[in-house]
Homo-oligomer: A and B are copies of this chain.
């Protein structure tokens, strides 16, 4: 590929976006590793979501990035009901924290593998939830923008998980 100024600019922006994503995923993973299983079943504040719910919610939302970024099918569609469609509640059927810890690693490892391999110019093509027709009018709704927005969503919930353990 010719190393034109345009490719340089694209590569720079992809790097900025993926660096931010990776840094936040790693920081959240480190936070979850530090929290015990018992701490993760506490609510982050009185009457609010439990750590296990937020952990499962992030796994589901990031797992859904796999098809949205047109990488592959979601790995754990069975988690959508408890962690996305329903609010946190004691009656939900949830996997154990130990099981979620494994799924956290496999989903993020798989995403990272795809992300690192996607050619720079491909990041500026449409993601799966916008039609080719709409994308022609709104070219900012590309795959990289999806990562940008999901990074914000992750930061939002990381701020809440950082309140654990609830003293």
Contact = CB atoms under 8 A, between A and B. Distances in A.
A19 B148 CA distance: 11
Contact of A157 (B13, B15, B139, B159): B159
A148 B12 contact: no
Contacts of A19: 140
A6 B139 CA distance: 14
Nearest to A54: B159
A160 interface: yes
A157 B4 CA distance: 39
Contacts of A155: 152-153, 155-156, 159
Contact residue range for chain A? 35 or more
Interface of A: 4-6, 9-10, 12-13, 15-17, 19-20, 24, 44-48, 124, 139-140, 144-145, 148-149, 151-153, 155-160, 162-163, 166-167
B17 A148 contact: yes
Given A20-B149, A20-B152, A152-B152, A140 B46 contact: no
28 contacts: A4-B6, A6-B6, A9-B9, A9-B124, A12-B124, A12-B139, A13-B13, A16-B144, A17-B148, A19-B140, A20-B148, A20-B152, A24-B152, A44-B163, A45-B45, A45-B46, A45-B166, A46-B166, A46-B167, A48-B163, A152-B152, A153-B155, A155-B155, A157-B159, A158-B159, A159-B159, A159-B160, A160-B162
Contacts of A6: 4-6, 9
